[in-house]
Structure 1
Amino acid sequence: MSNNFSALANSVVEKMGGASNVIALTHCMTRLRFVTKDEAGIDADALKKIKGVMGVVQNGDKCQVIVGNNVAAAYKEVMKLLNLDGSAADDAPAPKVKLTPKVIGAKMLDALVGTMSPLIPAIIGGSMVKLAAMLLLMFNVYEADHSTIILLNTIGDGAFFFLPIMVAASAAIKFKTNMSLAIGIAGVLVHPNFIDLMAQAAEGKHVDLFGIPVESVRYTYTVIPVLIMTWIQSYIERWVDSITPTVTKNFLKPMLIVLIAAPIGILLVGPMGIWIGTAISTLVYTIHGTLGWLAVAIMGALWPLLVLTGMHRVFTPTIIQTIAETGTEGMVMPSEIGANIGMGGACLAVAWKTRNIALKQTSMAAGASALMAGISEPALYGVLVRLKRPLIATLITGFIVGGLAGYAGIASHSMAAPSLFTSVQFIDVNDPMSLVWVLGLMALSVVLSFVLTLMLGFDDIPNEEEDDMNKSHKKEADKKEEPKLTEAPVAAKATA
């Protein structure tokens, strides 16, 4: 990854069709996520050739540029050129697109991924703090009722308990609606009085709003309900803006938005969002319950491909909800062990075998990122996709290691990306053998992917310096041979 982020930013913006073509920009752990006015202005092939760009994923007017672990620095430089506030470059309406099942599905996926990606650091941070508290208990450093443990668990729970508010803020940017109103409406769902009412409703007490019964729902740790509520709020805000007189907009507009959006959310959208989230979670874990270890193996093989398309974020709400309800997650997270660590092992094999100096450096850095931090995009786009066969090695590794993880019943207490440093999230304090299993699976992932990559081989990328030297030697040889071709006719002429 080039450290010249200013030059990188200029090149990327130019190939995106210029600053005027970009209407929104966000970033996740490794990707710059652009939304453009005109997809024809995106030069994806040229983007891939920019030094520092590891890969490009384009889907219509949306384009993801993978730049690796230093994405935050690149994002700041690009933002300077776009003069955005993180949501839109101007108020120009987006071009209308004919709604088809494919377009609807793409928009839903984009809304979910675009909303959740900025929240991942807070979720990972909180879950790792809770994991630290669990380890302190496991090693008998503190008792369960000690204030240190209580405070650590509270710190770790903060991101999860107030997840609806975080989702509202992120979704407000995505849907271009008023953030403070979205946060205020979401705040109702975690207000102590509302939580108390929902608890009473769960015990059988009648709770209603204007005579309409309110269903008992717990919204802490949830994503889908507030995501839908904020999307609906964006339309309510536009409608209210169109009917309120200018002189009353300062007070009447926000009041009407809250009075319309909040009841709709509480009475209809909230329960519907819970049903949708529960249905998705039930489907995923029904498959797991039916196929057992095979489901984890299949997920392990598919995981690198899901990351390639960005669809891996679809599972984020399911993982959060499952960990909140049961304390662990035993399908998606264990499947990532072989996939993530395997990508790191494959990159190390490439670094070992390649003669290309630049590829060797890229492979070592990408491999370290996957192994140590669990961030696999640099490995995927910088090495595996380019060379193809090492990617096949990681898919095989993901299947085998995923199957073993499923067989052993490995489960995660956190949703941090599996890596050598986050392996503790898979330790079961009641099962000492879980540590042996996790360390064994990670070691197997590295060794298996390394060996498979060497066995399958890959077409090495020639060194640019070697190419230049070969071309130079060839030119010199051609120059030496040229006189021999011309001297014979001249000598013959002189003799004659």
Structure 2
Amino acid sequence: MDNKAIATDVLAAVGGKENVTYVTHCVTRLRFNLKDSGLADRDVIEKIPGVIGVQEAGGQYQVIIGTNVGQVYDEVCRVGGFAHETAVMPDKDSVGKKSILSSMLGTIIGCIMPLIPILIGTGLGKCILMIIQLAGIASSDTSMAFYVFSFVFDAGFTFLPVFTAIAAAKHFGSNQLMAALMGCALLHPNWTSLVSAADPKFIGDMFGIPLYGMSYASSLIPAILIVWVMSKLEGFLNAKLPELVRGMLTPLITLLIMTPLSFLLLAPAMGYLAVALGDALLTIYNAGGGVVIALICFVYPWMVVTGTHSTLAIAGMQLMAQTGYDPFSRTLPLVANMSQGAAALACALRTKNKKFRSTCLSTAFTVFFAGVSEPVIYGVTLRLKRPMWAVMIGSAAGGLVAGIFALKAYTWMTPSVINVAMWIGGDGLNNLFVAIAAMVVSAIVSFIATLLIGFEDPTSDEVEEGADYQL
């Protein structure tokens, strides 16, 4: 598969590089912010070899590529002249064409998606350490190597505001090192010791204004808002200050303004909002338990199709930072992924088309072991339509088991068969056994439901048209 050809064709089909204000990627998708989404030709894009599908969600035009999206993204940046470090900001003419909510979601998702490799890497590392400790091989008390790796992996979440600030600066086109400085300020030892030793609701007076404080370790939203405001201030100062003193005065004035603004208003406001969101989700979860999880799991496969599932991941990060575990956002992809893979295996068993069977098996392997569901969705279940009902039923069944027994994820990772250690935590291995039970129930119910509901076996011509879904 020629990544350069994919990048060139996709860039042309979305309206050319002149129509792109910003481009990033997640695990499987190229995410474009377009000046005019009407210039993008969906039919052309979907026929490009190597493209799985297209979705518009969260204020972004998303081109689904698959597991090689990173290489395609590199080629898009090279062909289009986009720098990885600097975002291409929208023109004034493009502002206001999207709803406020859509723009906000697109911004938050665009700032957080670059953090996924850090979260996956540190999360998998923590899983390995959990297994080593449970096996009695080593611990922080007995091994210096274990101790060092432990705090390195913990750093992924502890210093999340710094990583978020850098990613947000890239998204907003502001100075990334100045953004990192503001992220570090939120985690400075003097501040963290102050908020942990005093009343977290009131710290003291700053310029005669009450200063309310809280710990911002592992937070996301405060850093995004601070960097957004800072980007506006930087742009104003660079436009108004004489070039002779701009390099000296812009960073100084930025810090003089952003420091009180951040600690008096922006950070505490967003911090309390994030905590309120986390508390609200926990309240809903505790009140409804298995029923709530089952209902959300039932519709979750369609959230993946539309790309709106990313917003739940943000909520999950907040819950994990707030409580040390996530009872919500990791359960959904766990049962949905198992259901998607089992449905694909059922299709492979029933189909008489050898090429389509190959597609089913390869995409099932990808979702089971890598946790990437787009290939199986667009290559098998959504493509055949009726198996999506089986996936929804299987997801709901697994979600009911997970909800009833209060399944929790203790590490933020992409759920898959390989990453089962992310469910180790709490008292003993009970939580892990619940996760395995939810996986098994989801897979069995989805497999049986797919066979019962059935599907229209694709012809050889139809398989040829969808050959690019194979991995």
Both proteins in one fold, TM over 0.5: yes
- Call closer, same or farther: CA 1:106–1:244 in 2, change over 3 Å: same
CA–CA distance in 1 between the matches of 2:224 and 2:200?
Answer: 28
Structure number, greater radius of gyration: 1
Per-residue CA shift, 1:97-155, capped at 9, x if unaligned?
447xx701101110111111110121122122223222222222234523344323201
- Call closer, same or farther: CA 1:290–1:205 in 2, change over 3 Å: closer
Note the C-alpha offset of 1:309.
2.1
1:27 is the counterpart of 2:25: yes
SS of residue in 2 equivalent to 1:250: helix
SS of residue in 2 equivalent to 1:23: strand
Note the C-alpha offset of 1:298.
1.4
Aligned-partner residue type, residue 259 of structure 1? L
Say if 1:162 and 1:190, in contact at 8 Å, map to a contact too.
yes
CA–CA distance in 2 between the matches of 1:72 and 1:365?
Answer: 20
Aligned-partner residue type, residue 401 of structure 1? G
CA–CA distance in 1 between the matches of 2:464 and 2:35?
Answer: 41
Note the C-alpha offset of 1:73.
1.3
Residue of structure 2 in register with 1:364 after alignment = 361
- Call closer, same or farther: CA 1:252–1:443 in 2, change over 3 Å: same
Note the C-alpha offset of 1:346.
1.1
Residue of structure 2 in register with 1:217 after alignment = 214
Residue of structure 1 in register with 2:72 after alignment = 74
1:116 is the counterpart of 2:121: no
- Call closer, same or farther: CA 1:279–1:433 in 2, change over 3 Å: closer
SS of residue in 2 equivalent to 1:249: helix
Aligned-partner residue type, residue 229 of structure 2? I
Say if 2:219 and 2:321, in contact at 8 Å, map to a contact too.
no
Say if 2:298 and 2:395, in contact at 8 Å, map to a contact too.
yes
Say if 1:24 and 1:86, in contact at 8 Å, map to a contact too.
no
1:137 is the counterpart of 2:133: yes
**Could you state the TM-score of these two structures normalised by the residue count of structure 1?**
0.87
CA–CA distance in 2 between the matches of 1:309 and 1:451?
Answer: 26
Per-residue CA shift, 1:76-102, capped at 9, x if unaligned?
222221010137786662424447xx7
Say if 1:116 and 1:313, in contact at 8 Å, map to a contact too.
no
2:154 is aligned, of 137, 157, 162, to 157
Residue of structure 2 in register with 1:487 after alignment = none
- Call closer, same or farther: CA 1:217–1:345 in 2, change over 3 Å: same
Aligned-partner residue type, residue 75 of structure 2? E
**Gaps spanning 5+ residues in structure 1: where?**
469-496
Say if 1:207 and 1:214, in contact at 8 Å, map to a contact too.
yes
Aligned-partner residue type, residue 24 of structure 1? Y
Aligned-partner residue type, residue 53 of structure 2? G
Residue of structure 2 in register with 1:93 after alignment = 91
CA–CA distance in 2 between the matches of 1:218 and 1:85?
Answer: 34
1:178 is the counterpart of 2:175: yes
2:121 is aligned, of 121, 125, 145, to 125
2:323 is aligned, of 323, 326, 329, to 326
CA–CA distance in 2 between the matches of 1:261 and 1:76?
Answer: 34
Aligned-partner residue type, residue 114 of structure 1? G
Residue of structure 2 in register with 1:187 after alignment = 184
Q: Alignment RMSD, CA only?
A: 2.4
CA–CA distance in 1 between the matches of 2:10 and 2:64?
Answer: 11
- Call closer, same or farther: CA 1:213–1:204 in 2, change over 3 Å: same
CA–CA distance in 2 between the matches of 1:466 and 1:154?
Answer: 49
**Gaps spanning 5+ residues in structure 2: where?**
466-471
CA–CA distance in 1 between the matches of 2:112 and 2:58?
Answer: 20
Say if 1:344 and 1:366, in contact at 8 Å, map to a contact too.
yes
Residue of structure 1 in register with 2:468 after alignment = none
CA–CA distance in 2 between the matches of 1:396 and 1:135?
Answer: 33
Per-residue CA shift, 1:281-308, capped at 9, x if unaligned?
1121111111111111112112212222
Aligned-partner residue type, residue 126 of structure 2? K
Q: How many residues align?
A: 464
Say if 1:340 and 1:376, in contact at 8 Å, map to a contact too.
yes
Correspondence 1:271-310 to 2 at 5 A? 271-310=268-307
Note the C-alpha offset of 1:363.
2.2
- Call closer, same or farther: CA 1:189–1:361 in 2, change over 3 Å: same
CA–CA distance in 1 between the matches of 2:132 and 2:7?
Answer: 44
Aligned-partner residue type, residue 238 of structure 1? G
